[in-house]
Amino acid sequence: MLTYCLKRIALAILTVLATAFLTFWLMNAVPGSPFYSDKYQDPQIVAELEAKYGLDQPLLKQFGTYIFGFIQGEMGVSLKMQKNRQVAEIITEKFPVSAGVGLAALGWAMPAGLLLGMLAAWKRGAWPDGLLRALAALGVAVPGFVLAALLLLLFGVALKILPTWGLDSWRAYILPCLALGLYPMCYILRLTRAAMLEILSQEYIRAARLRGAGTGRLLFKHALRGAILPVLTYAGPLAAYLITGGFVVESVFSIPGLGRYFVQSVLARDYPLIMATTILLALLLVALILLVDILYHLVDPRIRLAKEARDE
């Protein structure tokens, strides 16, 4: 187990470095400079600014300097969004906002998707199954910005029962969390239903029924343990996405989170902020995927035995 974790950590570090370099290269491959604006049009002034921030150096040297500084906790300063402010301070300010909304959305989407998917599988062919399948298809098909706008117009403008911008109170979290969590909930519903249908046809489930196991025990103790594996696979990248913020939802509800700020930094070509946010997302993603792999061993012992047999 320890050897497996060390191998995955080493692979995760290489993945983050590759992602960082690819982002850095693509960012610098776009013609132009972040300093060209209505205020700075003179090429000489732009060249002096690039020299000041080290953007006139060779690409590999810039990347190496940045990564070495990042490891030491130095993420550079913002070039455009909040000029000369430390990027670490910006992320420290914006990340908790996005993480709060994302964790709240994940907190309702995951259990709701699991429970509804189990219900749809258990009631296969009946009206609850048909209704939930239609709901899942609709939730997956509707774009996020459309859903966010509809929720805002209905509950914020027409009924005027929920706040439409900011996060000043717990009620202000309701609409963003609904908009951000509906698609994952519907997708998890479909994954759970498909996996549960396969598990319910297994011999050990039939044996449990013959032994007189109740519905709750059959579903939650016997069937869910095998059906949850596809959901765990999806949960890792999903959690990283939700925690770092959804640009559409944050824009519609005027939430000053990291997701909205990241897209604005791309448009403004704020290189240090783009790099720091990308590396943060990559670190979260690989860490959560590693956590999911470890949970696999705990949920299904057959996976552990298969890996140990292959390693031997």
pLDDT tens digits, 106-123: 899 999 999 998 888 888
Looking at CATH, the fold of the domain delimited by 90-311 is given as MetI-like fold (1.10.3720)
Q: What secondary structure does DSSP assign to 187-224, as a single string?
A: HHHHHHHHHHHHHHTSHHHHHHHHTT--HHHIIIIIIH
Structure token pair of residue 238: 């999903």
Nearest to 133 by CA among 190, 82, 172: 190
Question: In the chain, which segments carry CATH 1.10.3720.10?
Answer: 90-311
Please give the average per-residue pLDDT across 217-238, as a whole number. 78
For residue 86, the cross-strand partners are 77
- pLDDT above 90: percentage of residues in the chain: 4
Contact 35, 46 (CB under 8 A): yes
Q: Interhelix angle for 144-151 vs 174-200, to 10°?
A: 130
Please give the average per-residue pLDDT across 125-154, as a whole number. 87
Q: Interhelix angle for 174-200 vs 87-122, to 10°?
A: 40
76-95 pLDDT per residue, tens: 888 777 777 888 888 888 88
pLDDT at 189: 92
User: Cα dist. 169→136, 151, 165, 243 in Å?
Assistant: 30, 18, 11, 19
Average pLDDT, the chain: 80
Contact 90, 82 (CB under 8 A): yes
Contact 231, 188 (CB under 8 A): yes
Q: For residues 303 and 295, what is the distance between their CA atoms, to the nearest angstrom?
A: 10
Structure token pair of residue 69: 């500084």
pLDDT at 100: 87
pLDDT at 41: 60
Confidence category of residue 300, pLDDT binned at 50, 70, 90: low
